[in-house]
Amino acid sequence: MAGQTIASAVILGITEGLTEFLPVSSTGHILLLGELIGFESTEKTFEILIQLGAILALLSVYFYRLWSLVVSLPSSNRSRHFVGGIVLAFLPAAIVGIAGYSFIKTILFETPVVICTMLIIGGLILLFIDRLQLKPKYFDVMDYPLSLCFKIGLFQCLAMIPGTSRSGATIVGSLIMGTDKRSAAEFSFFLAMPTMAGAFAYDLYKNINHLSADDLNYIMVGFVMAFISAFAVVRKLLDYISRNGFALFAWWRMIVGSAGMVWIYLA
């Protein structure tokens, strides 16, 4: 990572943590911000690997619930049903992510126009969905039908395009298929755990031999900052969404995407 600074790793790590679980596309934000401040990571590994900090923050917040889930697995059909649903939802992104890894990292990650376009389009969709008078049928993630979980997983595949937002895609998919806003966001949280952990492991496996000691130092700094900022967001997000919906995030996406377009064509 020639020419990079600890300060830029701090800024990008904080941005990752603040945006990872919001429906605004953390990858889109840190790729655009990285372009703006001149941050170029080896094989784009920094942008993927620092996500582990956000995942550990999520695990910290949900630790007791996850532990209760693990303990109850042998005796609870409901717990086994939920875990099976998460596995089903995870599989489509795992398959698409591995199959399209090279194209995603070398083409889509390197095309700011695509990122800005998806930010704007996603904002418009999110605003439209937020204003619909939807009548939810599902209010508890533990009771989501397996077929619904799998379909949400298909929506998650859209997030392979940077700027789309993994949480945004899964939340929108959940809402139009009959969930309420709070449980849609919560299911997105749970689905993030295997998805992002898998992305971290696969990217590290593919690029470990390309990383220098400096690369690892910057990744560690970004990881720590992502953990701290994500921890703060996760603790407040569900209550905010339940009360206020997604309009704020929709407008933010459109502002960032539009500003990015202006920057691209004026640079």
pLDDT tens readout for residues 126-143: 999 988 888 999 999 999
**Is 10 part of a structural domain of the chain?**
yes
pLDDT of 4 strictly over 70:
no
Beta bridge partners, 138, equal 179
pLDDT of 3 strictly over 80:
no
Residues 154-160 have a mean pLDDT of: 95
**Is 14 part of a structural domain of the chain?**
yes
pLDDT of 54 strictly over 90:
yes
Q: What is the pLDDT of residue 267?
A: 73
Which of residues 15 and 236 earns the better pLDDT score?
A: 15
- Alpha-carbon distance of 10 to 5, in angstroms, equals 9
Count of the separate structural domains present in the chain:
1
pLDDT tens track for 229-243: 999 898 888 889 888
Cα distances (angstroms) measured from residue 146 to each of 70, 72, 87: 19, 19, 10
pLDDT of 2 strictly over 70:
no
Q: Give the chain's mean pLDDT.
A: 92
- Alpha-carbon distance of 167 to 200, in angstroms, equals 17
Q: Which two tokens stand for residue 23?
A: 């429906």
Query: CA-based Rg of the chain, rounded to a whole angstrom?
Result: 18
- Residue 67 sits in which domain range? 6-266
Cα 4-110-93 angle, rounded to 5 deg? 110
pTM given for the model: 0.91
Q: What is the pLDDT of residue 261?
A: 96
Residues 153-172 have a mean pLDDT of: 95
**Is 244 part of a structural domain of the chain?**
yes
**Is 1 part of a structural domain of the chain?**
no
